[in-house]
Amino acid sequence: MTERGHSSLSRGPDHLAMGDSLLHWKGDRLEIDIEEQAIWLGVPFHPPVRGKVVVEPEMWSGQRFALDPAGRHHWRAFAPRSRIRVEMERPGISWSGTGYLDGNHGSEALEDGFADWQWSRAHVGAEAAVLYEGVRRDGSTFASALRFDAHGHGQEEPLPMGAPLPATRWLMGRRTRADRGHARVVGTWEDSPFYARSAVASRLFGREVLAVHESLSLDRFRSPIVQWMLPYKMPRRP
């Protein structure tokens, strides 16, 4: 991933282009063409990444949810269940499996509205479940457990018990919710000073599930030290 300026952005009703990478709809499926080359001070320092990701929704949801009382931030799970196919040319790997498509939008930066959040998504039989909770910038908290049926309709469920998870190597706090308050980390895919993405096994709504889980500390993200470090992790182009 590369941070880019306004001149590298193009978007329309059915596409979003950033540099040489492109997201576009073909009928009911989303195709993501990836063409990335990390460059630092004008010099490539990592092999190029090139390939395609295809997301085919199995259900659609038109619902959106406000994350704060003032309505500055909204979240929507466009496709709570999807099939996904990854076909990479560089590196030469491919796989297929289950997927998910959501989005956030708002009238202010996320770090201005929130201090922390925890999120997870799991397939529950033919349905899908999403757990969302966090701390707003004013210190208030929010939490919801949503269950999407086979038609994509989401409804609030009683919140399962809190389930603590071990901190990451960067000492990022992680937590989730599960039946009987027990969950375990199966693997951590992304571990950074302010963000972690993990696979978490638990029991949810009476079923054994393997969830994708993320922890985000926006307090850490907005700190001057992390902001100084970011270009070394994700290069910036003018």
66 forms beta bridges with 74
Q: Provide the H-helix boundaries in 2-135.
A: 110-113
Mean pLDDT of 207-223: 96
The pLDDT-based confidence of 229 (bands split at 50, 70, 90) is confident
The pLDDT-based confidence of 5 (bands split at 50, 70, 90) is confident
What is the reported pLDDT for 37?
A: 80
Over residues 54-81, the pLDDT tens digits come to: 999 999 998 999 999 999 999 999 999 9
Whether the pLDDT of residue 42 is over 80: the answer is no
Whether the pLDDT of residue 36 is over 90: the answer is no
- Phi, psi dihedrals of residue 224, rounded to the nearest 5°: -60, -35
User: Amino acid identity, residue 197?
Assistant: R
Residues in the chain: 238
What is the reported pLDDT for 6?
A: 87
pTM, two decimals, is 0.87
What is the reported pLDDT for 39?
A: 66
% residues pLDDT > 90 (the chain): 84
The pLDDT-based confidence of 235 (bands split at 50, 70, 90) is low
CB atoms within 10 A of CB 212: 17
What is the reported pLDDT for 112?
A: 95
Kindly report whether the peptide bond that precedes residue 235 is cis, defined as omega within 30 degrees of 0. no
C-alpha closest to that of 218 among 102, 138, 137:
137
Domain spans of the chain, in order of start: 6-233
% residues pLDDT > 70 (the chain): 94
Over residues 160-192, the pLDDT tens digits come to: 999 999 999 999 999 999 999 999 999 999 999
Q: Using only C-alpha atoms, what is the Rg of the chain? A: 19
Over residues 88-136, the pLDDT tens digits come to: 999 999 999 999 999 999 999 999 999 999 999 999 988 999 999 999 9
Of residues 174 and 41, more confidence is placed in 174
Contact status, residue 202 vs residue 182, Cβ threshold 8 Å: yes
